[in-house]
Structure 1
């Protein structure tokens, strides 16, 4: 089945899971630095995704919301890149380099966060009304997607060296 749709998906293994978690950890550290250090210098305050988690799910405890956001960022979003975004890109846009797929994935996560979660579920204005924080969030999500893609690419290269 060489070249078929299955060839675009990684074979699930501990190595793939390790790549996902390493990619997610690196991306989450990048996100947190952007959200809590750089963004406040630009917009006057940090990005607070845990507050969005609280709004969507009604959690009173910020620590639980932070934990949920961290698990999603470190485990589930990288798996989404590996098993959804990258395979779809390989089929639909095979000419795109890995870094563009990563940036596109980050943009998709931004749309998911600020339109679906913030607007449709939490009742906030779509994309928070396109305030400065919206654009800081876009850059943060693009960095997140780019770091996931870079770590996955690096781990794959190391596997063949």
Structure 2
């Protein structure tokens, strides 16, 4: 088995300090890629600009929690980007994909995971926040798809790189 594919023997990782560091680092890398794409590169190319903090604020308000700017940033940047999404990759998506399609390259597996994140966020969370389903399939919808895929690939690349260094 090469480092380029998901590992069929891969099990859910033990919750250690090393795993927590892996979650935080990969989440930070993914969040940086997402925000760089959605807030800088996409608008420079003439596409929509993402507003994930606005979506987070709308979601928080819809479920009765404080939804000021600080809460929206904390939700988007930390709880979702740095913790929840990488936990989903390490503890759910990667082990499942590794068992179902063991030879699938991590690059493709992570892109599929990113598309799943997009369905969850733009297809589901937007509706809870009182926004149109998939944001009405406007330009921002497709920028968000690319952003979630970029996020997942960047985060998974960080995981693959760190694990490769650890296995030396």
Does TM, normalized by the shorter one, top 0.5? yes
Q: Which structure: greater helix fraction? A: 1
Is 1:154 equivalent to 2:161 in the alignment?
Answer: yes
Q: Which contiguous aligned blocks of 4+ residues in structure 1 show a shift greater than 6 angstroms? A: none
Q: Which residue of 2 aligns with 1:116?
A: 124
> For residues 7 and 54 of structure 1, what CA distance do their matches in structure 2 show?
36
Q: Which residue of 1 aligns with 2:149?
A: 142
Q: Which residue of 1 aligns with 2:34?
A: 31
**Structure 1 residue 13, shift from structure 2 partner:** 1.1
TM-score for the superposition, normalised by structure 1: 0.90
**Structure 1 residue 103, shift from structure 2 partner:** 0.7
Assess if the C-alpha contact under 8 Å between 2:31 and 2:81 holds in 1: yes
Q: Which residue of 2 aligns with 1:102?
A: 110
Assess if the C-alpha contact under 8 Å between 1:31 and 1:144 holds in 2: yes
**Structure 1 residue 123, shift from structure 2 partner:** 2.8
Q: Which residue of 1 aligns with 2:133?
A: 126
**Structure 1 residue 45, shift from structure 2 partner:** 4.6
> For residues 60 and 107 of structure 1, what CA distance do their matches in structure 2 show?
26
Assess if the C-alpha contact under 8 Å between 1:8 and 1:91 holds in 2: no
**Structure 1 residue 49, shift from structure 2 partner:** 0.8
> For residues 40 and 12 of structure 2, what CA distance do their matches in structure 1 show?
36
Cα RMSD after superposing both structures: 1.7
> For residues 45 and 123 of structure 2, what CA distance do their matches in structure 1 show?
22
> For residues 44 and 85 of structure 1, what CA distance do their matches in structure 2 show?
30
Greater RCO between the two (CA within 8 Å, min separation 6)?
2
